[in-house]
């Protein structure tokens, strides 16, 4: 299959014609990749089971991992959900269009192929003009996961989509770099207390300002079972679950959860080792000075052993690294920049064919929580504490 890449420009009329063509493809049951404000999505008609199935095929995605249904206006929500809890309505008023996905009980209109066999449906109204026009023109409901091959970092540029899906889908809409760079915050409203299933740009404190108490899926804070022991015995590297002081990225409570046998994440997609670069990614966590010292030491050691080493630092620290291929992910003064560049940097290191990447860690109560969640997954929870 030939993949057509259509660049969207400032020519509104031309854009409309391109979006019409893309919408027609979706209505015919085909796939189109398109920009959103978070990451690029791989879209299909959400109400057409055969079309949804094509998404899983193109991405190589496990069939139990449900898709997010994207809508372009609030009235369209009613057709696909059984009811809208008042708190969810408030959230929509505050954050839609925007980087928020909400989970509802699904109606008959949504096929099981779209929800991965679940009775609930994830819904989002993206804040991107191209996405909104496309959804509307295609009939109102576009199922779209991130437009990467399963297991690869999510695409933040049309070029990333082409890297993964060229020849597998008929069209990519190129809207330039995305704004946020991390997938949406997912909040489950299908049970009594709302629960964050995936952290994102919209933080728990932003949510609590609107609807009061929100829980965090406890499974978010632990290393998935499948990874336990994966790095056992690899020198000073330790699973962060081993922390005893409760002050690190994980506190004591989470360590106990893990000891008790682990928890299953409520968002099926969160259990996979997503976002993984080809190289081994190792996070180094601790005070800034110690982190630099450790990364410099490990990089030197790796290079001496004949390895290609990549280092992820920040604008503030990049000049302090003495060897290896050093890249700045952004500035700690503006956390947004770190989110924006994370996936792109992982892909750049893939192209440079490094064997191992050492990265500073980025835990903080705000957006840092979402960044760290993705980094821990990319690293298979391989963290060195200094």
Q: List interacting residues with ligand TXA (CB under 6 A).
A: 36, 38-39, 41, 65-68, 101, 103, 115, 118, 120-122, 124, 126, 144-146, 183-184, 186, 197-198, 266-270
Return d(Cα 83, Cα 80) in angstroms, integer. Answer: 9
Return d(Cα 362, Cα 384) in angstroms, integer. Answer: 13
The residue number with the shortest CB distance to Mg ion is 146
Q: Report DSSP state, residue 109.
A: T
Tell me how far, at minimum, the Cβ of 369 lies from ligand TXA, in Å.
16
Q: How far is CA 312 from CA 157, 284, 331, in A?
A: 20, 10, 12
Residue 101 interacts, among Mg ion, ligand TXA, none and using kind-specific CB cut-offs from 5 to 8 Å, with ligand TXA
Beta carbon nearer to ligand TXA, 121 or 291: 121
**Closest to 164 (Cα-Cα) out of 70, 326, 270, 278:** 278
Total residues interacting with Mg ion, rule: CB under 5 A: 1
Extract the tokens encoding 314: 């920040």
Contact 194, 187 (CB under 8 A): yes
Residue 38 interacts, among ligand TXA, Mg ion, none and using kind-specific CB cut-offs from 5 to 8 Å, with ligand TXA
Tell me how far, at minimum, the Cβ of 302 lies from ligand TXA, in Å.
32
- Helix or strand run (H / E) with residue 159: helix 158-165
Binding segment (CB under 5 A) for Mg ion, from list 48-56, 142-150, 222-230, 237-245: 142-150
Binding segment (CB under 5 A) for Mg ion, from list 146-154, 204-212, 328-336, 372-380: 146-154
Tell me how far, at minimum, the Cβ of 103 lies from ligand TXA, in Å.
5
The residue number with the shortest CB distance to ligand TXA is 269
Return d(Cα 71, Cα 124) in angstroms, integer. Answer: 6
Tell me how far, at minimum, the Cβ of 383 lies from ligand TXA, in Å.
22
Extract the tokens encoding 382: 């391989």
Q: Report DSSP state, residue 227.
A: G
Q: Report DSSP state, residue 75.
A: G
Extract the tokens encoding 160: 């990333």
Return d(Cα 321, Cα 224) in angstroms, integer. Answer: 32
Return d(Cα 181, Cα 177) in angstroms, integer. Answer: 9
Residue 317 interacts, among Mg ion, ligand TXA, none and using kind-specific CB cut-offs from 5 to 8 Å, with none
Query: 239 phi and psi, to 5 degrees?
Result: -65, 135
Return d(Cα 79, Cα 233) in angstroms, integer. Answer: 53
Beta carbon nearer to ligand TXA, 270 or 372: 270
Beta carbon nearer to ligand TXA, 175 or 310: 175
Beta carbon nearer to Mg ion, 272 or 278: 272
Beta carbon nearer to ligand TXA, 146 or 292: 146
Tell me how far, at minimum, the Cβ of 273 lies from ligand TXA, in Å.
13
Residue 69 interacts, among ligand TXA, Mg ion, none and using kind-specific CB cut-offs from 5 to 8 Å, with none
Beta carbon nearer to ligand TXA, 214 or 284: 214
**Closest to 117 (Cα-Cα) out of 82, 81, 66, 69:** 66
Q: In this chain, which of 36, 120, 146, 240 binds Mg ion, going by CB under 5 A? A: 146
Return d(Cα 67, Cα 123) in angstroms, integer. Answer: 9
Residue 314 interacts, among ligand TXA, Mg ion, none and using kind-specific CB cut-offs from 5 to 8 Å, with none
Beta carbon nearer to Mg ion, 62 or 212: 62
Beta carbon nearer to Mg ion, 122 or 173: 122
Binding site for Mg ion (CB under 5 A): 146
């Amino acid at each position: 299959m030939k993949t057509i890449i259509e660049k969207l420009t400032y020519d509104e009329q031309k854009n409309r014609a391109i979006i019409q063509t893309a919408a027609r493809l979706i209505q015919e049951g085909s796939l189109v990749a398109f920009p959103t404000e978070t990451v690029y999505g791989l879209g299909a008609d959400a109400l057409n089971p055969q079309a949804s199935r094509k998404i899983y095929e193109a991405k190589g995605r496990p069939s139990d991992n449900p898709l997010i249904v994207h809508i372009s206006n609030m009235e369209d929500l009613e057709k696909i959900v059984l009811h809208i809890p008042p708190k969810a309505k408030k959230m929509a008023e505050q954050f839609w269009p925007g980087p928020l996905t909400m989970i509802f009980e699904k109606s008959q209109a949504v096929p099981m192929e779209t929800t991965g066999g679940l009775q609930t449906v994830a819904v989002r109204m993206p804040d991107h003009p191209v996405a909104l026009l496309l959804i509307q023109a295609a009939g109102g409901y576009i199922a779209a996961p991130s437009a990467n091959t399963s297991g690869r970092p999510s695409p933040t540029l049309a070029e990333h989509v082409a890297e993964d899906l060229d020849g597998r889908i008929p069209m990519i809409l190129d809207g330039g770099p995305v704004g946020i760079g991390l997938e949406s915050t997912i909040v489950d409203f299908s049970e009594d207390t709302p629960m964050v299933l995936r952290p994102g740009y919209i933080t728990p404190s932003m949510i609590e300002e609107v609807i009061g108490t929100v829980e965090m899926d406890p499974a978010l804070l632990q290393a998935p079972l499948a990874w336990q022991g994966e790095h056992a015995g690899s020198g000073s590297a330790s699973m962060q679950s081993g922390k005893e002081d409760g002050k690190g990225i994980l506190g004591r409570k989470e360590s106990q959860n893990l000891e008790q046998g682990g928890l299953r994440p409520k968002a099926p997609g969160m259990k996979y080792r997503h976002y993984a670069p080809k190289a081994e990614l190792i996070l180094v966590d601790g005070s800034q000075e110690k982190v630099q010292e450790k990364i410099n030491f490990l990089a030197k050691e790796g290079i001496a052993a004949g390895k290609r080493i990549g280092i992820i630092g920040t604008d503030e620290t990049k000049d302090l690294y003495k060897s290896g291929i050093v890249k700045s992910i952004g500035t700690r003064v503006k956390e947004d920049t770190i989110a924006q560049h994370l996936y792109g940097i992982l892909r750049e290191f893939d192209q440079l064919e490094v064997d191992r990447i050492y990265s500073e860690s980025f835990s903080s109560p705000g957006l840092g929580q979402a960044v760290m969640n993705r980094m821990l997954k990319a690293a298979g929870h391989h963290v060195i504490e200094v």
